[in-house]
Amino acid sequence: MSTPPFHTKGGHGCSSDEEILLQPFNSLLSSPNNNNLSINCTETTTIHHLSHIQRHHVSTLNADVIIRQVPSEGLSFQLWPAATSLFSLLNTHRLHRHLPLHPHRRIRILELGSGTGLVGITAAAILGADVTVTDLPHVIPNLEFNVAANGSIIAANSGTVVAAELTWGDVDQMETIGREYDVIVGSDVVYHDHLYEPLLNTLKFLLVKDEMVFLMAHLKRWKKETVFFRKAKKLFEVDVIHRDEPEDGKRVGVIVYRFVPRQKQLCKASKADF
């Protein structure tokens, strides 16, 4: 697989000169051989490019989640390391204790910047959850392809998945998506600094009930990312709930954070309700 430059699609420019690159993106994208049990194939659906079909084995369900990547289409069409981490935590049930699971109803999950949809689709199958996977408009056809490819495993485990457009900070789209979720998830969604504010605004819109959580898996690449966390900590309590060991030769591994709204955010939200 040739990994595309980071700015190929979606108009997100690369880092400026003063940025300190901790780990280059190309070396961080999942290896094409990692979990890739199938061959490259040419799909005849909406996207007519070379694609990779991967099978990710869910041991507790003894079934596979099937994910299509289309590397030539850009970063949104590839599986990122933090998604693989969340997949692994879901698969081994290590994420469960951080989820507000309800005994009498299905858990509702919203995924931000879903990319290929591996995390949301796996969560629906493993947790029997109602999941909404979201991303920029041009990413939706591949997301829908992956949702459809996993229809059986999702339905067999009483889950549901729908794909929807959600451009961070877009008020109309946020209103359409609503706030009726128990958990928001995201993997590798903090990278370009111009996306920090839109992402935080989206989280500010969504996280308005004290029982709601945002679980974010993140692989640190640039020092500037501390700016995102500094801003996030003004709005949310942010805790580390899991750390992956760094891969060979790397300085850092994927970290999973849990965000919950700070009390003053909840007050603002409840005042806005009146």
Ligand X SMILES: C[S@@+](CC[C@H](N)C(=O)[O-])C[C@H]1O[C@@H](n2cnc3c(N)ncnc32)[C@H](O)[C@@H]1O
Binding site for ligand X (CB under 6 A): 10, 75-76, 79-80, 82-83, 113-116, 135-136, 139, 166-168, 187-189, 191, 195, 198
Q: What angle do CA 251, 253, 258 make, to 5 degrees?
A: 135
Q: With respect to ligand X, which residue has the nearer C-beta, 122 or 265?
A: 122
Smallest gap, in angstroms, from Cβ of residue 269 to ligand X? 22
Sign of CA dihedral 72, 42, 47, 190: negative
Smallest gap, in angstroms, from Cβ of residue 134 to ligand X? 7
- d(CA 261, CA 264) in angstroms, rounded, equals 8
Q: With respect to ligand X, which residue has the nearer C-beta, 187 or 265?
A: 187
Smallest gap, in angstroms, from Cβ of residue 138 to ligand X? 8
Kindly state the tokens that stand for 69.
Answer: 């990547």
CB atoms within 10 A of CB 248: 5
Closest CA to 184 of 252, 131, 124: 131
Q: With respect to ligand X, which residue has the nearer C-beta, 82 or 107?
A: 82
Smallest gap, in angstroms, from Cβ of residue 42 to ligand X? 22
Residues 6+ apart with CB under 8 A from 20: 222, 223
Q: With respect to ligand X, which residue has the nearer C-beta, 88 or 262?
A: 88
